[in-house]
Structure 1
Amino acid sequence: MQMILDSLSVSMAKMKSLMSPYYDKFEELLKKECFPIGYIISDNWERGTIYALGHNTDYKERYLEELIPEIQLLYTIPLEQNKKRNPLKFKIDFGYLCDEEQNTIYFQLFEVSEKIGVITESFASDLILSIPKDWQTGINENSVYIEFVVNENVSKEKIIECADIFSKHVLLPFISKLKQ
């Protein structure tokens, strides 16, 4: 058990050091492009939170009857209009997720507004079409994502490329749509 914990500790620390710079890059981009048009970064951000054995923290604080084999490194940048009535709300999630079904690094843009108006299925489909075909992409409940499977060939360069493609083909067109 000690060897497993040591391995997880070293692996997650390395993954965090590779992913953390993108939080700063995305935050800087959002501040530069979206603050002037009336958007702010809200208080529900996560900057490299590590979840192990499941994501539901309330559940873990009370009791843990069943171990859920999952580990996640999560970054969240929430963006919303600076207005009180029906603001448009979005969030960028990215990080590393390993569970029984997947072992991926991902970058995802969500719309979490009460009334979805920007990241429609049509807009998300258009974004997906512009992403090079060698990347795994998808649309999921008012969101669009790009990801790749972590294997023995994972590298810093692959993470950089994925983040750059997300920025170029998802974030920048999204920001352009917000400015319209």
Structure 2
Amino acid sequence: MSAGVQPATTRFAPTPSQLVIAYSVCRSITRAAARNFYYAFLVLPRSKREALCAVYAFMRRCDDIADDTTVPVCDRRTKLADWLDGLHHAIEGMPSDDPVLLALGDAQRHYRIPMDLLDQLAGGTAMDLEFEGEEEDEPGFARCAPVVRYRTFDDLSQYCYRVASVVGLVC
């Protein structure tokens, strides 16, 4: 580190207006993509409802990154890793211009959502990008389809735990 660059001694804290906008974006994502969850969340107190919308928006983005077949698999893996790094940075107090990360960072701190669970959610989505053989027809495009049959029951169990059970634990 150069003498002129010092580590930040204070954490970035989004302003109340930034959080209002961030949670509004998460609410819109949840309402548009998962009406069933959105309406179920309406019975919750506002702060819990907002936090769950942030969790859902984060998971939705993970899934959208993994499912974007217009992007080579290698690039999707990188984007998913970058997305998770962005969350870690937001939670560590680094600034973010992504409203979903701002909202989830706030919800994680407020409700003390274990980072391990959020990492496992993203890890489950990343399992969608694992391929048998990793062979490619064209550069960056896997020849075979994503794994739909897991080699062992333990692999399947781990996938189900990450994409379903962990959601319940986060909530």
TM-score normalised to the size of structure 2? Answer: 0.33
Q: Which has the higher helix share?
A: 2
Q: Which has the higher strand share?
A: 1
TM-score normalised to the size of structure 1? Answer: 0.32
